[in-house]
Amino acid sequence: MSLYISPVETAGAPAHHEYSLVGIRYSTVDDVGVGHTGGPYSDSLSTLARLHIIPNSTTKLALNATFRASLRQAITGGGTTGSFGVPAEPDPQHSPPDIATLDAYALERWETILHYMVSSGTGQHPTKPSQEVLFLLQRSGLMTRVHGGVLQITSSGFQFLLHDPHAQLWELLLQFLHMAEERQMDLVEVLSFLLMLSTMELGREYSTENLSPTQSAMLADLRNYGLVWQHSVR
């Protein structure tokens, strides 16, 4: 079994192919203003020093030796941790999906959620998202059950629809993290897995072997939002 990272986009909003997990954005060197004193640059250096990622130096930047060694190992695929995912072996029986296919898949999954929300209470019968997605929408206060147990969008849900796709995704992911604790998932493992997914390359095939029960459960949830695409689900 293997998975692919796919972008999420809504109608009229372009997909950000340069990012592995949509909604997680990376600052460039220019963003922190290297070469300038004070402001975001100094604040960033102070934060990195407190985290022991760089030594407290005012003359040059240097990564902490332990962090540097671990980062090199992760980037080059060394060791057994699979920090950045483990690429899957090519399968001659299955052609990998192209970027356009992943885009269409992610768009269909995301718009199914949004269309269900906006159509609730109108008498229409749109395609239902998975039960896990419906529970999350209700738990987050975006939808509520009314007479007969029917789900209907709330005022918060309407405000949610006005947000850009990245803000929508972050809101659901934050609620997902709250629910993960209630499901007795290890929050550190959940966050680590999300960060690992964020480093994966869009459209590249990764192995799902040796995933923990928590990670396997998360994959099922992330498929529902169109964040990952799996070749086969057993």
Tens digit of pLDDT at every position of the chain (234 positions): 556 656 544 444 444 333 333 333 333 333 333 444 567 777 887 888 888 777 765 646 677 888 787 777 666 655 555 555 777 777 788 788 889 999 999 999 999 999 999 998 777 778 899 999 999 999 999 999 988 788 999 999 999 999 998 899 889 989 998 888 888 888 888 988 888 888 788 888 888 888 888 988 999 899 999 989 887 655
Dmax over CA atoms of the chain, in Å, equals 68
Contact status, residue 144 vs residue 154, Cβ threshold 8 Å: yes
Listing DSSP states for 107-137 in one string gives HHHHHHHHHHHHHTTTT--PPP--HHHHHHH
- Do strands 2-5 and 151-153 pair parallel, antiparallel, or not at all (unpaired)? unpaired
Helix (H) or strand (E) run with residue 12 in it: none
Question: What Å distances lie between residue 60 and 27, 45, 84, CA to CA?
Answer: 20, 11, 28
